[in-house]
Structure 1
Amino acid sequence: MQEIVTGFIVALDVVALYLLLPAVKQRFLLALWTAILHMVFPIIGFTLGNWMVNILLQWSTLISSILLFCIGLQLILSTRNRKAITIPITILAITASLDTFSVSISFGMLNLQKYLFIISAGVWTFILSYLSLTVARSRFSIRGDFLKWIAGIALIMLGAYTFINYIDN
């Protein structure tokens, strides 16, 4: 269940970004491309995380909790940057998906279910990306900062929870 919820949380970051882009012409293609990358980067991250857990068995949970905390904090702090984006959709999709790489390193080190998270991240990202790009084009406006704060706080809480469990053991 943690993997499905985290896949949703990772997709919220994309929603926050894509709600700020009302002029995207190829919404379906961008949503599909972003969803695929939200599945590819975690495969790399899980592989790296599993490799790291074999090397750093004693420290992996601590490192994982710190990574999750820092990613959440970065999401919250990124709400201050308000620059207009005019880049190709492939670059935009890669940029929006890079955070799944670092999150999945943490999950790889925690030995969570890789494929459940990957499928969850891809499905949630596609659905929420397409919906947010459609909403951004309409007159109805949602502030992306609010969603970044929710995703950031959720990742910080997940990192803190992991850290507390590490200390208790």
Structure 2
Amino acid sequence: MQEIIVGIILALDVVALYILLPAVSQRFLLSVWTAFWHMLFPLLGFKLGSWVSIFMAEWASYLSAILLFCIALQLLLSSKNQHVPQLALPILAIMASIDSFSASVSFGMLNLEKYLFILSAGVGTFLLSYIALIVAKTSIFNSQIFKMIAGILLLIISVVILLN
């Protein structure tokens, strides 16, 4: 169950970014592309995390907690940054998905169910990014909220991992 929750939490940073893009014409295609990268990076991260955990079995939970904690801090510290990089949207989707790699390294180190996590990250990212791109035209939501929620949830997960 935690794999599904974290997969969806990782999609919140994409929502925070895409909510700032009101003029995207290919919303569906961009959402599919972003979901693809949110599935590929975790797959690579799980492979690396599993490999690292063999060599660092004693420290794996501490390292994964530290990685998640750092990702959470980055999300919280960047929540005030409303600047959207002026890049091509496919490159922006890749950049928005890179953090899913580092989070999945920590989950790979904990030997969690990778395919469930990858599937939830992909489906959650697709659905939430597509909704964010549609809602972005209305500018009702503030992307700071999504970054703060994702950061706080990842902080909580990192502390729980550290305490177990």
Does the pair score TM above 0.5? yes
Residue 152 of structure 1: aligned partner: 151
Distance 1:47 1:84 in 2: 31
Q: Which residue of 2 aligns with 1:115?
A: 115
**Partners of 2:51 and 2:84 in 1: how far apart?**
38
Q: What's the % identity of the aligned pairs?
A: 55
Alpha-carbon distance in structure 1 between the residues aligned to 2:141 and 2:85? 18
**Which amino acid is the alignment partner of residue 144 of structure 1?**
S
The structural deviation recorded for 1:24 is 1.3
Note the C-alpha offset of 1:140: 4.5
Q: Distance in 2 between matches of 1:123 and 1:82?
A: 26
Structure 1, unaligned stretches of length 5 or more? Answer: none
Q: Cα gap change, 1:16/1:52 in structure 2, threshold over 3 Å: closer, same or farther?
A: same
Counterparts of 1:13-52 in structure 2, within 5 Å, are 13-52=13-52
Paired with 2:64 and 2:30, the residues of 1 have a C-alpha distance of 30
Q: Matched residue of 1:85: which SS?
A: coil
Which one-letter code corresponds to 1:92 in the other structure?
A: L
1:87 deviates by: 1.1
User: 4+ runs of 1 displaced by more than 6 Å?
Assistant: none
In the TM superposition, what are the counterparts of 1:75-114 in structure 2 within 5 Å?
75-114=75-114
CA distance in 2 between counterparts of 1:58 and 1:125 reads 32
1:93 shift after superposition: 0.5
Structure 1 residue 135 corresponds to structure 2 residue 135:
yes
Decide whether the 8 Å contact of 2:34 with 2:94 is kept in 1: yes
Shift of 1:118: 0.2
How many residue pairs were aligned? 164
Query: Structure 2: which 5+ residue stretches go unaligned?
Result: none
Paired residue type of 1:109: M
Q: What's the TM-score once normalised by structure 2's chain length? A: 0.97
Q: CA separation in 2, counterparts of 1:9 and 1:151?
A: 6
Distance 2:84 2:68 in 1: 27
